[in-house]
Structure 1
Amino acid sequence: MTELTDARRARSFDLAAAQYDHARPGYPPALFDLVEELAGRPLAGARVADVGAGTGIATRLLRERGAQVTAVEPGAGMAAQLRRATPGVPVVRGLGDALPLASSSLDLVTYAQSFHWTDPDRSLPEALRVLRPGGALAVWWNIADNGVPWIAAQAKRMWTDLGGGVYGTPGRAGELPADPLRTEHRLHWTRRVPLETHLANIGSHSLFLAGDPDRGRAFLDRERGLLLREFPDGTVEEVYAVELIVTRRPPRNA
């Protein structure tokens, strides 16, 4: 498989926005409880920008908690799906490296599964710029638990057959520089989904979307048979750890 650039990978999601929205996992309620605790305020009534919002998976969950959310998304296809799936939420086309938002205007900036597409040397100062004094930046990723044997075996097959993986690796905290106002947590959770939803989930990653389509389809066809041996009832239990990083903008009097 040819090497894929980050730009090509990022653009690939526009090709499968509906699949992404349907199949990708959400986030457990405990994550948002923890975000509130670490941000020092409830989400209800908070002014939030969800950056790299994709199709709005996290945007919708933030809104359900009462947040006043603006979604920031660069991709045309992803933004269009977000508007269809989440009517009434403002959607702004833009990048985390140059946020099209006013300074000191937000209580919370979130990146759900998207901060790694930015340049932290640019996106972190931008997040702090648009936050009010005392506001918080919350960054998180779903990381599949490679301690689960079938997940580890599937990840190994991806690397062997496709030359890459989709699950990410623990330790994404390195994406953000060390800071005395930064905290890190990890939450474990599971979801049970039909086999076809699981296959659509892994097929919605850039490894498949921007890679060789024939090799990708062949891999998913083989996985279907292998996973039916592991889950004969056709329901897959996906096991995740959400890695959360929260950093604060210092209060004005700090």
Structure 2
Amino acid sequence: MSAPPPRALSFDASAALYAAARPGYPAALLDTVEELAARPLNGARVIDAGAGTGIATRLLHERGARVLAVEPGPGMAGELRRTLPSVPVVRGDGNRLPLATASADLITYAQAWHWTDPALALPEALRVLRPGGALALWWNVADDSVPWIADQNIRLRRHFGARDSAHGTAGVTGSRSLHLLSGGGFAQRLLPWSRSVPVDTHLANLSSHSAFLVRGGADTESARRFLDAERGHLASVFPDGTVEERYVAELAVLVR
């Protein structure tokens, strides 16, 4: 197993928080994966790379896919094993997949491709895919066209610095990550969606991002001050205490 970037492993000590607070994905996302991959998920041999706590793994499994999860972090892998005991998990990362050549119908990277070196990860994915197989990459990115989200993002960037945020992933959206790929051939879709959660869940979601975790997480004095102030901002927008989080799921699929 190659060594993932330290920031990629920052989630490991907060795996339970990540599993409880992070959003899932809309049903339309997997429908679109099937459309662009030109095959159903039911019965497909799927590798969920960078699986984390198994948020996407569970959805793939529920669609009838035969899923193998690949995850570098022991804490995240342990949380996945706890909640999805019937799904096999192997330790590894996308730069060097511990898998046989031409063994998968689909490889997915849910919120994970940007932690790889695309110059290594893309050839690895193509090696592991069977002819006609597909590589699917996707990200949830906070919808900055929504005024309250745009305002929150300004506050996040002011708190962390102009180049960092807890919206998207470490300030790197799917579109920017895809620009790092050599070649091309990816079909791309943007899928808006939303979820309604208590304010505590929204704040926990924010604090589960690496921008917070690499600075000590939500228990530091700086993080507590920011999250307490954010609770006040949210109360003025959502007086009933329920936050409507709005996302754009950015999807890209390459057929081998």
Deviation at 1:9, TM superposition (A): 1.6
Aligned-partner SS, 2:31: helix
Aligned residue number for residue 65 of structure 1: 63
Partners in 1 of 2:198 and 2:111 — Cα distance? Answer: 22
**Mapped contact 2:21–2:204 kept (Cα < 8 A):** yes
In the alignment, is residue 155 of structure 1 matched against residue 159 of structure 2?
Answer: no
Which piece of structure 1 moves more, 209-218 or 236-245? 209-218
Give me the whole-angstrom Cα distance separating, in 2, the residues matched to 1:170 and 1:137: 14
The size of the alignment, in residue pairs, is 243
Query: In the alignment, what sits opposite 1:17?
Result: 15
Match of 1:89 among 72, 81, 87: 87
Which ranges of structure 2 fall in alignment gaps of 5 or more residues? none
RMSD: 1.2
Length-normalised TM-score, structure 2: 0.92
| Pick aligned residue for 2:246 from 213, 233, 239 | 239
Partner SS, residue 127 of structure 1: helix
After TM superposition, the structure 1 = structure 2 runs for residues 199-238 of structure 1, keeping only pairs within 5 Å, are 199-212=203-216, 213-238=220-245
The residue number in structure 2 matching 1:78 is: 76
Q: Give the partner amino acid of 1:40.
A: A
* Conserved 8 A contact 2:119-2:181: no
Q: Check whether the contact 1:162–1:215 (CA below 8 A) recurs between aligned residues.
A: no
Report the Cα distance in structure 2 between the residues aligned to 1:239 and 1:170, rounded to whole angstroms: 16
Q: Equivalent residue of 1:225, what SS?
A: helix
The alignment status of 1:167 with 2:167, answered yes or no, reads yes
Compute the TM-score of the two structures, normalised by the length of structure 1: 0.93
What is the distance in 2 between the residues matched to 1:178 and 1:162? 34
SS at match of 1:171: helix
CA 1:162–1:170 in 2, change beyond 3 Å: closer, same or farther?
same
- 1:116 touches 1:175 (CA, 8 Å); kept in 2? no
Letter in 2 for 1:246: V
Q: Which whole-Å CA distance do the structure 2 matches of 1:183 and 1:170 have between them?
A: 13
Residue aligning to 1:252: none
Q: Tell me which amino acid in the other structure corresponds to 1:167.
A: H
SS at structure 1 position matched to 2:5:
helix
Measure how far apart 1:214 and its partner are.
2.1
Question: Which secondary structure does the structure 2 equivalent of 1:104 belong to?
Answer: coil
Q: Secondary structure at the match of 2:39?
A: coil
Query: Deviation at 1:94?
Result: 0.1
Q: CA contact under 8 A between 2:166 and 2:206: conserved in structure 1? A: yes
* Residues 9-48 of structure 1: pairs in structure 2 closer than 5 A: 9-48=7-46
What SS does structure 2 have at the residue aligned with 1:226?
helix
CA deviation after TM superposition for structure 1 residue 20, in Å: 0.2
- What is the DSSP-based 3-state SS (H/G/I as helix, E as strand, rest coil) of the residue aligned with 1:32? helix
